[in-house]
Chain A
Amino acid sequence: MAQISLQNLRKIYPNGFEAVQPTNFDIADGEFVVLVGPSGCGKSTLLRMVAGLEDITEGSLSINGRQVNNVDPADRDIAMVFQNYALYPHMTVRKNIGYGLKNRKTAPAEIEAKVQEAAKMLNLVEYLDRKPSQLSGGQRQRVAMGRAVVRDPALFLFDEPLSNLDAKLRHQMRIEIKSLQRRLGVTSIYVTHDQVEAMTMADRIIVLNGGQIEQIGTPAEIYHAPASTFVASFMGAPPMNLVEGRLDTGQVMIGDGIALGNAEGTGPVTVGIRPEDVELNDQGSLMFTVDLVEELGAHRLLHGRLAGQPFTVHVGKEVVVGAGDAAVNIKPDSIRLFDVETGAAR
């Protein structure tokens, strides 16, 4: 098992592009950390630097206190699961899983025992003699997991391992990977651009944007107290409502003087409200205009306008509404304020 420490880790590609700005964070032993962010924000670059597949331009990377900047990937005691699985197409599942052990001069009997154990854990026993081309996507994914698990590494690295699966399988594998990681207690870094994966799997989430860390925190912290408008709109589906407002005489105002709550300060401000923090209430003080109802079975999303600005409200399935005006209330203490210019939380 392992603690990981990144100090001012930075990546500049040979073409001069700075894909990862100096980055600092530590990962505790056995922790499951998810790196999340939009496409091209540098998640894979960061992960690949940890794996040793990409040179580190600056800074220091340590695993268990040992600086590994210049250590070969094979000697970092890590295992990686790739988005396209990267299984060796000409080898059987058994050989695929055992290849890393074989290269490390493990005795054949021991390899077989470990492969069997991993296969049992991942329900792959009956497929051991098949080639990857004879497996379904989910099974291939499991073989890739098996290849990682069998070596009993200090650190698991995942680069969008589920993005090639259909929604249902993705959901199932999400749970499997998470529970496997729990059981084995292996420190893990998991890259995804899917905020649902991040929320459901992570012990801690690191939100990246443009090669820079926006926020580090538990899923609850990230969700309830986003550090910036970027995090607020990236995490959560539907995202947090962001409306233009202003601070005036200790009040948060939007539109033509509609007060949402109390706050110190003056001047313009961006007001963030989660869609589920709004409730329909006949005595409500705010007027919300519903344009469109999105039916999702377990709940409904009402898309419309609040004080002339786009706004979404999340209601339970028992609430029946049509297009038109509805009075709403905002739950107390659920308003987040962000700086208009920098987007940072205030």
Chain B
Amino acid sequence: MTDISQDPHATPARRIKWGRVLDHAILIVGSLFMLIPLLVVLQTTTTTDIETIKNGPELLIGTQFDDNFMKAMFKASGFSGENTGTSMLINSMILGLGFALGKIVIGMMAAYALVYFRLRFATFAFWLIFTTLLLPLEVRILPSYEIAQKLSLLNTYTGLIVPLIASATATFFFRQYFRSVPEELVEAARIDGAGPVKFFIDILVPLSQTMIAAMFIIMFVFGWNQYLWPTMVTTEEGMYTLVRGIKQLTQDLEGTNIPEYGRANMLALIAILPPVAVVIFFQSWFVKGLTESDK
């Protein structure tokens, strides 16, 4: 009997929980799978293009990081000399912000109208908006392009952003959220003399902070990564966004020049950073909003 109970603490510690090991193995493999391409990109930004061509990806960290960075940010690739990394970054930023904010503003206002006003056919209107989910930009790209062109919106920020911002998704989420706001809050505000506009700005918008943050994360990344539409509406190099501009660089690779691996990969890295920053920043904010639970 004493034999068995000799070391009561050791037994559970020594027992290996295979399920947990498996979980971790899956997670580790998964993150390696995601990270290795990034690391390769990072490595190529530190060596010269010739070296990259000769040796392919290596474990070695080179000295060309600064050089590649300067080239990526400030050297133009096209004929006009306007599509430097900096200008593309600014364009992408404008697209991402405009896309996200536009979708949030439009979605909130549409949801506000649907939830708080006694509209005839409000439910019908909502479903109509909802069915536009079945018609993403790719489906209606030709007519959209034609309209943008007829309104001379090609190569403008308006043309880049506005055709994209009508959003069934944002409308849907804000509608669901507004419906969960207690009725009495509206009534108290009415008695307190807040009209529809004041109620929206003073009460509904601050209450929706967490929802807005969540929408912003999703929509900013979505807008930032837009490729097809920017490719169609921007032909002037000064209007190129990063995602589209990188494509331009890789097209150069097909020519007879030495491909600019370092520069292209550096731009790719730069293109990743803002969405990552937005996610990290708003995520903490989002979680804070959820845990403080105002409602």
Residue from B190, B191, B198, B295 whose CB has the most chain A CB atoms within 10 Å: B191
Q: CB-nearest residue of chain A relative to B206?
A: A90
CB distance from B187 to the nearest CB of A (A): 5
Which residues from chain B contact A74 at a C-beta distance below 8 Å?
A: 190-194
User: When chains A and B are docked, how far (Å) is the Cα of A87 from the Cα of B187?
Assistant: 11
User: When chains A and B are docked, how far (Å) is the Cα of A99 from the Cα of B209?
Assistant: 20
Q: Are B184 and A88 in contact, with the CB atoms below 8 A?
A: no
Which residues from chain B contact A147 at a C-beta distance below 8 Å?
A: 188, 192
Q: CB-nearest residue of chain A relative to B184?
A: A86
Q: Are A86 and B193 in contact, with the CB atoms below 8 A?
A: no
CB distance from B193 to the nearest CB of A (A): 4
User: When chains A and B are docked, how far (Å) is the Cα of A88 from the Cα of B189?
Assistant: 9
Residue from A53, A74, A88, A100 whose CB has the most chain B CB atoms within 10 Å: A88
Q: B254 at the A/B interface (Cβ < 8 Å)?
A: no
Which residues from chain A contact B294 at a C-beta distance below 8 Å?
A: 89-90, 131, 133
Contacting A103 at CB < 8 Å: which of B185, B187, B193, B293?
A: B193
Q: A80 at the A/B interface (Cβ < 8 Å)?
A: yes
Contacting A88 at CB < 8 Å: which of B191, B203, B209?
A: B203
User: When chains A and B are docked, how far (Å) is the Cα of A23 from the Cα of B206?
Assistant: 41
Which residues from chain A contact B182 at a C-beta distance below 8 Å?
A: 84, 86
Contacting B293 at CB < 8 Å: which of A83, A104, A133?
A: A133
Which residues from chain A contact B292 at a C-beta distance below 8 Å?
A: 133
Q: CB-nearest residue of chain B relative to A87?
A: B188
Q: Are A82 and B207 in contact, with the CB atoms below 8 A?
A: no
Residue from A53, A74, A90, A104 whose CB has the most chain B CB atoms within 10 Å: A90
Q: A51 at the A/B interface (Cβ < 8 Å)?
A: yes
Q: Are A78 and B193 in contact, with the CB atoms below 8 A?
A: no
Q: What string of 1s and 0s marks CB contacts (under 8 Å) between B157-196 and chain A?
A: 0000000000000000000000000101101111111100
Q: Are B184 and A84 in contact, with the CB atoms below 8 A?
A: yes
Q: Are A86 and B203 in contact, with the CB atoms below 8 A?
A: no
Q: Are B191 and A100 in contact, with the CB atoms below 8 A?
A: yes
Q: Are B185 and A104 in contact, with the CB atoms below 8 A?
A: no
User: When chains A and B are docked, how far (Å) is the Cα of A131 from the Cα of B191?
Assistant: 21
Binding site for A on B (CB under 8 A): 182, 184-185, 187-194, 198, 202-203, 206-207, 209, 292-295
Top 8 closest pairs, chain A to chain B, by CB = A86-B184, A103-B193, A100-B192, A89-B294, A74-B193, A86-B188, A90-B206, A82-B184
A-B contacts, 6 listed (Cβ < 8 Å): A89-B295, A99-B194, A100-B191, A103-B194, A104-B193, A133-B293
Given contacts A74-B192, A83-B184, A103-B194, 14 further A-B pairs with CB under 8 A are: A51-B191, A52-B190, A72-B190, A74-B194, A79-B191, A86-B185, A88-B185, A88-B188, A89-B207, A99-B192, A99-B194, A100-B193, A103-B193, A104-B193
